[in-house]
């Protein structure tokens, strides 16, 4: 079954952030549940409203995606948006497909610039496979270059609406991000792009970014197999950055606390994405872990050897993590990966921050 339909009555509004409402809903003929509404798609529900829900994620007990989603507020349909340009359709041929203005389409004010754009001029592009790496990468970058102009390219491996990410909302409001560009089927960013390639060109030539960070939205999809993981697209993003003459930087997914052996040290997903999918050479920042993390650091070094020359095609860059823990602790949004925070799995965030620190070192000037 594709959708498990339910009717519900809004009992309360818990909180709101950019483009999202979190609701308490009483399911008709069932019990209470937590629901999300995107007002720009389905309308703005009020307490007491009857809402139509997609309850499949709740019924299956999913983690990040474990909300009922408001499909419509039948008695409170949103008004038609004002006429405007834009003909890109995202979430295509689904009941909630959205029409947006692409940064490079003919009606865009940026069309002339992007029609000629074909080069990133050496812009560092940090690629990570999990959305949770985003704030850590930026924290490491800003520890060296606090005024750097950073763009986030959100791919469509996880959540499609950028609004779903509270991390993104917090990074925007704190001034840590210049823009979010949603690529592929993802939508709701400051700018819209058809591909990762056009998103990166938009970051460089429209946003004026000095660094781009590419990662999927929250709620990745995985099957516990080597190839059945949405973050494998990190290797394809490395290729995009390379062919556009950027400077690809591959952030390692590292853990010293994950109970799954395949994710201890360097995750097998990083080894697959960068070792098998990425055909363009990239810098691989390796965090110098010592002290209590010294044994883990040695294991990471052994695993990375398979990715870098002469065995592989990439370049290992050893990055000290001095003071990065303090930079991570000062992050304006909570740090969490697979339910673990900075205290529970420091290596996970230090590895991402090391990638940001290395990218900062690639920037010219003071």
Domain of 219: which CATH number?
3.40.50
Burial bucket for residue 304 (CB in 10 Å: 0-12, 13-18, 19+): buried
Mean pLDDT of 114-124: 97
Residue after which a domain boundary falls, among 46, 72, 98: 72
* 16 shares its domain with 121: no
* 67 shares its domain with 127: no
User: How far apart are the C-alpha atoms of 97 and 345, rounded to whole Å?
Assistant: 38
Q: Which residue has the higher pLDDT, 63 or 90?
A: 90
Residue 247, in any domain of the structure: yes
User: At 98, is the secondary structure helix, strand, or coil?
Assistant: strand
User: What pLDDT, on the 0 to 100 scale, is given for residue 62?
Assistant: 66
Place of tokens 């098998």: 276
Residue 95 has pLDDT above 90, yes or no: no
Residue 183 has pLDDT above 80, yes or no: yes
User: How far apart are the C-alpha atoms of 288 and 301, rounded to whole Å?
Assistant: 9
Residue pair 3/59 in contact (Cβ under 8 Å)? The answer is: no
Residue numbers of the domain that contains 30: 5-72
* 65 shares its domain with 146: no
Tens digit of each residue's pLDDT (9 = 90 or more) over 236-266: 999 999 999 999 999 999 998 788 878 888 9
User: At 22, is the secondary structure helix, strand, or coil?
Assistant: strand
Residue pair 91/67 in contact (Cβ under 8 Å)? The answer is: no
Mean pLDDT of 134-163: 97
Residue after which a domain boundary falls, among 72, 95, 126: 72
Q: Phi/psi at 88 (nearest 5 deg)?
A: -75, 130
Burial bucket for residue 362 (CB in 10 Å: 0-12, 13-18, 19+): middle
User: How far apart are the C-alpha atoms of 33 and 144, rounded to whole Å?
Assistant: 44
Residue 366 has pLDDT above 60, yes or no: no
From the list 266, 103, 333, the residue with the least C-alpha distance to 200 is 103
Residue pair 322/355 in contact (Cβ under 8 Å)? The answer is: no
* 259 shares its domain with 329: yes
From the list 79, 17, 26, 22, the residue with the least C-alpha distance to 49 is 26
User: How far apart are the C-alpha atoms of 223 and 365, rounded to whole Å?
Assistant: 44
Place of tokens 């050496």: 122
* 349 shares its domain with 233: yes
Residue 34, in any domain of the structure: yes
* 143 shares its domain with 264: yes
First and final CA of the chain: distance in angstroms? 57
* 247 shares its domain with 138: yes
Q: b/e for 171-206, b at 16 or more Cβ within 10 A?
A: bbeeebbbbbbbbbbbbbbbbbbbebbbbbbbbbbb
Residue 88, in any domain of the structure: no
Provide the pLDDT confidence category of residue 65 given band limits of 50, 70 and 90: low
pTM: 0.95
Provide the pLDDT confidence category of residue 352 given band limits of 50, 70 and 90: very high
Residue after which a domain boundary falls, among 22, 54, 72: 72
Residue 83, in any domain of the structure: no
* 158 shares its domain with 242: yes
* 13 shares its domain with 162: no
* 218 shares its domain with 323: yes
User: What pLDDT, on the 0 to 100 scale, is given for residue 58?
Assistant: 80
* 54 shares its domain with 167: no
Residue 132 has pLDDT above 90, yes or no: yes
Structure tokens at 85: 């340009």
Q: Which residue has the higher pLDDT, 44 or 64?
A: 44
User: What pLDDT, on the 0 to 100 scale, is given for residue 59?
Assistant: 76
Domain count, the chain: 2
């Amino acid at each position: 079954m594709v959708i498990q339909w339910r009717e519900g009555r809004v009992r309360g509004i818990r909180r709101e952030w950019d483009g999202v409402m979190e609701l308490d809903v009483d399911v008709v003929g069932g019990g209470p549940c937590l629901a999300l509404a995107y007002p720009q798609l389905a309308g703005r529900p009020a307490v007491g409203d009857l809402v139509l829900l997609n309850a499949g994620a709740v019924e299956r007990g999913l983690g990040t995606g474990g909300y009922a989603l408001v499909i419509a507020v039948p008695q409170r349909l949103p008004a038609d948006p004002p006429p405007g340009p834009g003909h890109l359709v995202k979430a295509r041929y689904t009941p909630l497909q959205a029409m947006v203005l692409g940064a490079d389409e003919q009606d865009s004010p940026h069309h002339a610039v992007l029609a000629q754009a074909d080069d990133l001029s050496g812009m560092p592009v940090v690629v990570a496979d999990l959305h949770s790496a985003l704030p850590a990468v930026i924290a490491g970058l800003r520890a060296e270059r606090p005024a750097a102009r950073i763009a986030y390219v959100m791919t469509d491996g996880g959540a499609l609406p950028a609004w779903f990410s509270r991390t993104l909302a917090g990074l925007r409001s704190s001034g840590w991000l210049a823009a979010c560009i949603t690529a592929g089927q993802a939508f709701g960013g400051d700018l819209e792009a058809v591909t990762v390639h056009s998103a990166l060109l938009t970051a460089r030539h429209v946003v004026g970014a000095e660094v781009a960070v590419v990662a999927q939205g929250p709620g990745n999809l995985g099957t516990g197999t080597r190839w059945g993981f949405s973050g494998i697209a990190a290797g394809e993003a490395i290729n995009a950055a390379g062919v556009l003459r950027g400077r690809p930087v591959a952030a390692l997914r590292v853990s010293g606390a994950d109970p799954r052996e395949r994710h201890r040290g360097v995750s097998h997903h990083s080894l697959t994405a960068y070792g098998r999918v990425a055909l363009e050479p990239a810098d691989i920042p390796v965090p110098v872990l010592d002290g209590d993390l010294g044994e883990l650091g040695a294991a990471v070094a052994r695993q990375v050897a398979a990715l870098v020359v002469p065995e592989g095609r990439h370049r290992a860059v050893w990055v000290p993590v001095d003071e990065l823990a303090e930079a991570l602790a000062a992050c304006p949004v909570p740090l969490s990966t697979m339910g673990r925070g900075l205290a529970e799995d420091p290596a996970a965030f230090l590895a991402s921050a090391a990638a940001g620190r290395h990218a900062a070192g690639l920037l010219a000037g003071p």
